[in-house]
């Protein structure tokens, strides 16, 4: 049976993986940049809560945000994507309800 070639990780995927590993090693949740990158890969339209997190850093309702993440999870989800969504869920719970964050748009990758 031939070996299956693996695709190299994208820059986003590398940043997400490194952010999750760093948070795990430090015993904390992912940082703002990692959360923004994950949310940017998950939102489904500009009127959604995940888009709100991506664009402003706001978490207007923790429960609804977790439900939005679960909707993404219910799609075909690889183990790595599930790990990424777990990290985003933990971030949302840890940060809690908050408005738009100053400097959020300066978080670039």
CA 52 to chain centre: 12
CA 86 to chain centre: 8
pLDDT band per the 50, 70, 90 thresholds, residue 9: confident
pLDDT in tens, 58-80: 999 999 999 999 999 888 788 88
Q: Which of 44, 21, 43 is nearest to 34 (CA)?
A: 21
Residue 33: strand, helix, or coil: helix
Domain assignments of the chain as residue spans, ordered by start: 11-97
Mean per-residue pLDDT, 83-108: 95
Between the two ends of the chain, the Cα-to-Cα distance in Å is 39
Mean per-residue pLDDT, 42-51: 88
């Amino acid at each position: 049976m031939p070996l299956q070639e693996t695709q190299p990780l994208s820059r986003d995927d590398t940043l997400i993986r490194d952010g999750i590993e760093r948070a795990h090693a430090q015993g904390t949740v992912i940082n703002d940049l990692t959360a923004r990158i994950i949310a940017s890969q998950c939102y489904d339209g500009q009127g959604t809560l995940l888009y709100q997190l991506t664009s402003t850093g706001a978490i207007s309702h923790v429960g609804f945000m977790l439900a939005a993440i679960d909707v993404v999870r219910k799609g075909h989800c690889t183990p790595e994507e599930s790990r990424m969504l777990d990290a985003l869920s933990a971030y949302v719970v840890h940060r809690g309800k908050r408005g738009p964050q100053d400097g959020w748009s300066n978080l670039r990758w």
